[in-house]
Structures are given as C-alpha cells and as structure tokens.
C-alpha cells in the first residue's frame, strides 16, 4: 500500500515537467529519422518542390515540340525574305509577358512577384528595342545601347529574385550575391579602360554593362548548387538564355553591338541571311527557354 502510494505521488508531483521530456523525446526521434528542418540564413523554410503533374508535363512537352517546329519554319520564311525578324521576336515577347503578368497575380512569394515585375520591365524594353529597329533609327544613336543595357539589367533583376525565392542560402550563395555587384562593377570599369582611347564612348560602356549583366544572369543560376538541387528545371532553362545570347554574339562582334536580344541578326543585309540562319534560329530558342522557365515557375507557384 505504501509503495503504491509513493509511486502515485511521484507521478503527480508538481515539480516534474513531463511536457519537456515529451518534446525532447520527439525531437530526438525527428533527428534520428532525418526529418529535422534546418533554418535558413535570412530566409524562411522554402516550400516543398512543385510536382510535375501529368497535365503540366503534356503542356510543357507540346510547347517545346511545337515551339521548336515553328521556329524552324519561321527561320525558313525569314531566309526567303517573307518578313523581317523583329516581329517574330515580338510574338515571343508577348507570350513571355503573359507569363510574367500571371506570376505577379498568382505568386505566393514576394520574391517571385518582384521577379515578375522585373520580367514585365524586360518585356517593355524588349518592345522598345524591336520598335527602334523596325523604325530604322540611326545605329549610331545612343538610344539602342541604353535600351539594350536596360533589357539585360531587368533580366538580371528578375533572375536574382526568382533564384532566391525557392532556394536556401549556402555559404557560396552568400559570397556570390555579396561579391557579384562589386566584381561586376570592377569588370565594367576594367573593360572600359582597357578599350583603346579612340573607341571609348558611352555606347561602349553600355555594351559592357549589358555583357556583364548577362554573364551574371548565367552565374546566378548555374554557379549555385542549391539552385540545381531545389529547382533544376528553371535553373537549366533560365541559365541557357544568357549562355545562348553570349555565344551568338561572338561571331557578330563589331556589328550592331547594342542589340543582344535580337542576336545581331535581324539587321543583316539579305545577301548574308543564309550565313546567319543558325543564329536566327537559336535566338528564338533562347526566348523559348525563357518562356518554358517562366511556365515552370508559374506552375510551381500554383502547386505550392
């Protein structure tokens, strides 16, 4: 009797907090099962990965296949001089604009919403760029260079926001985002002063800014292991856009240097169209990759 009374008294003794013991045990079990969430530096826990639903897989595959087929047909029509290349790019800009606007409306993350705003700014300056080329404004004017730089900077702003939205920060990411503005500014200044004195001009400076912005666009996605781990689809698609544009600009160096997104091909004389057919095709591929990447982010926001 006395032993039973002592046991009951010890169980109900007010000085013992059994809740803490229960929480400690639960935490230990969570750690053993590998399910403990680790806090992120400056960010809340990112949401679970969006699922590739069957319907979205079909839509994505059809967009890719039909897009590539149409691009091939459009390139052949451009080679036959049925139309100018500027308005082909404008169609891609419209489709991308629709996706950017949809991101602003349905995004649950403020980072994604800001990325969509930068995307709309990109689309606006792309339209201005295409209009300038359609009106045959003097290539020596300072306007095309300024618009080209604005396009690339707007894309960089969108890329930074979208890449931050669903990924945690590692030590490499902290160094990358901390040093990228400084390194980019130093690179622009170095390129400008390494240019021969007679070639230095505001237009050349704007071209250097656009080039460095595109390089940073690629590094923001492809240089971060966390991006490849958490959202490999957008990482590959978005990173492919600046990579393609920079590669296409290499053989076109020295001609129309203030026009990255039109890929230096839409203003070439008709006699050289066949030589630049591949460039015209892959310019469309770059804009298609941007569209597919935005669709993937949009689907992820809807599924979260």
- Tell me, what's the pLDDT at 251? 64
Q: How confident is the model at residue 53 (pLDDT cuts 50, 70, 90)?
A: confident
Rounded mean pLDDT of the chain? 78
How much is the average pLDDT of 14-43? 43
Higher pLDDT, 294 or 134: 294
Q: Which domain holds residue 161?
A: 56-303
Examine residue 67 and state whether it is found in any structural domain, yes or no.
yes
pLDDT over 70 (residue 184)? yes
Residue 8: pLDDT band with limits 50, 70, 90: very low
C-alpha pair distances (Å), 154 with each of 57, 64, 121, 235: 29, 25, 6, 18
How confident is residue 215, by pLDDT bands cut at 50, 70 and 90? very high
Q: What is the pLDDT of residue 7?
A: 41
Tell me what pLDDT residue 218 has.
Answer: 93
pTM over 0.85: no
User: Would 23 be classed as within a structural domain?
Assistant: no
Write the pLDDT tens digit of every residue in 97-121.
Answer: 999 999 999 988 899 999 999 999 9
- pLDDT at site 263: 55
170 or 51: which leads in pLDDT: 170
Query: Is 26 part of any domain?
Result: no
**Structural domain contains residue 217:** yes
Separation of alpha carbons 110 and 105, rounded Å = 11
Q: Over 80: is that where the pLDDT of 36 sits?
A: no
Tell me if 48 is assigned to some domain: no
State the pLDDT at residue 26. 45
| 27 within some domain | no
Check whether 94 has a pLDDT greater than 90.
Answer: yes
Residue 134 confidence class, pLDDT cut points 50, 70, 90:
confident
Residue 36 in any domain: the answer is no
Q: What is the mean predicted confidence (pLDDT) over 216-221?
A: 92
pLDDT exceeds cutoff 90 at 291: yes
Q: How far apart are CA 211 and CA 191, in angstroms?
A: 11
CATH number for the domain including 111? 1.20.1070
pLDDT, position 21 = 43
Mean predicted confidence (pLDDT) in 45-59: 71
Q: How far apart are CA 165 and CA 114, in angstroms?
A: 10
The tally of domains found in the chain comes to 1
The answer, yes or no, to whether residue 58 has pLDDT greater than 90, is yes
How large a percentage of the chain has pLDDT more than 90?
A: 33
For 245-264, how does the pLDDT look when each residue is reduced to its tens digit (9 = 90+)? Answer: 888 877 655 445 557 776 54
Give the span between the Cα atoms of 295 and 220, in whole angstroms.
Answer: 19
Could you give the percent of the chain with pLDDT greater than 70?
73
Q: Would residue 145 count as lying in a domain?
A: yes
């Amino acid at each position: 009797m006395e032993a039973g009374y002592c046991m009951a008294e010890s169980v109900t003794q007010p000085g013992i907090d059994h809740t803490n013991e229960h929480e400690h045990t639960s935490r230990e079990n969570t750690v053993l099962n590998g399910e403990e969430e680790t806090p992120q530096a400056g960010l809340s826990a990112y949401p679970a990965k969006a699922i590739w639903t069957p319907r979205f897989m079909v839509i994505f595959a059809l967009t890719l296949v039909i897009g590539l087929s149409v691009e091939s047909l459009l390139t052949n029509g451009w080679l036959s001089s049925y139309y100018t290349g500027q308005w082909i790019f404008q169609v891609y800009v419209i489709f991308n604009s629709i996706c950017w606007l949809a991101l602003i409306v349905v995004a649950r993350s403020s980072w994604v919403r800001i990325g969509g705003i930068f995307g709309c700014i990109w689309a606006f300056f792309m339209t201005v760029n295409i209009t300038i080329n359609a009106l045959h404004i003097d290539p020596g004017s300072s306007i095309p260079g300024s618009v080209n730089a604005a396009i690339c900077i707007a894309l960089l702003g969108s890329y930074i926001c979208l890449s931050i939205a669903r990924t945690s920060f590692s030590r490499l990411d902290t160094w990358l985002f901390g040093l990228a503005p400084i390194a980019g500014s130093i690179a622009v200044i170095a390129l400008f002063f390494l240019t021969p004195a007679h070639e230095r001009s505001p237009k050349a400076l704007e071209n250097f800014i656009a080039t460095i912005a595109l390089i940073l666009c690629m590094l923001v996605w492809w240089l971060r292991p966390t991006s490849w781990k958490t959202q490999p689809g957008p990482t590959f698609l978005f990173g492919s856009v600046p990579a393609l544009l920079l590669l296409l600009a290499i053989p076109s160096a020295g001609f129309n240097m203030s026009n990255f997104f039109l890929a230096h091909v839409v203003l070439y004389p008709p006699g050289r169209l066949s030589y630049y057919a591949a460039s015209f095709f892959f310019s469309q591929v770059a804009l298609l990759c941007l569209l597919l990447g935005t669709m993937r982010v949009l689907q992820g926001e809807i599924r979260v």
